[in-house]
Each structure stands twice: as structure tokens, then as C-alpha cells.
């Protein structure tokens, strides 16, 4: 099992819309809207690191209105 926290920075005022889009992705287990340099914190789980890479590059980073991401991988 691969787990990561992904910090997202998005365009102003787009936090709630992006959170709704992110909730539709099965691998995403939790979402927090925050204030500051990062706008959304996502908790994600996949079966392996390749699937995590695919989730981040093919699903999350492709969403409109996302400016940047930082991924914090969790190791057991």
C-alpha cells in the first residue's frame, strides 16, 4: 500500500470546485481545504508507487485551475 499527502495550490476561489472534482477520484481518501500557501491537502492511497505516480500525473495535475502540487509520501 502506498500513501501520500498532496499539497495543492490552485487559482483563487477554485478550492471548493476542485475539492468536488477530487472527491470523485477513488484513490483519494480525504480532502481538507486550507488557507495559506497551499489551498487543499489531499490524502491518497494506491496499491503501489507506480499507481501513485499515475494518480498524481494523470488525474490530479491534469485538473484545470491547479497551479502546483507537492507530494509527501508516507512510508511504513
Q: Give me the number of domains the chain comprises.
A: 1
pLDDT of residue 37: 93
**Average pLDDT across the chain, whole number:** 96
pLDDT of residue 49: 93
Which range marks the domain in which residue 67 is found? Answer: 2-74
User: What pTM was computed for the model?
Assistant: 0.93
9 and 37 in contact (C-beta within 8 Å)?
yes
pLDDT of residue 67: 96
Q: What H or E segment, with its residue span, contains residue 28?
A: strand 28-33
Average pLDDT over residues 15-43: 97
14 has a pLDDT exceeding 90: yes
Grid cell, residue 1, equals: 500500500
76 has a pLDDT exceeding 80: no
Residues of the chain with pLDDT > 90: what percent? 95
CATH number of 66's domain: 3.30.70.920
Amino acid at each position: 500500500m502506498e500513501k501520500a499527502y498532496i499539497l495543492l495550490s490552485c487559482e483563487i476561489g477554485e478550492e471548493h470546485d476542485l475539492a468536488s472534482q477530487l472527491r470523485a477520484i477513488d484513490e483519494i481518501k480525504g480532502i481538507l481545504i486550507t488557507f495559506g500557501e497551499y489551498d487543499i491537502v489531499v490524502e491518497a492511497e494506491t496499491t503501489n508507487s507506480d499507481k501513485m505516480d499515475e494518480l498524481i500525473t494523470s488525474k490530479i495535475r491534469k485538473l484545470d485551475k491547479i497551479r502546483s502540487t507537492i507530494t509527501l509520501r508516507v512510508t511504513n
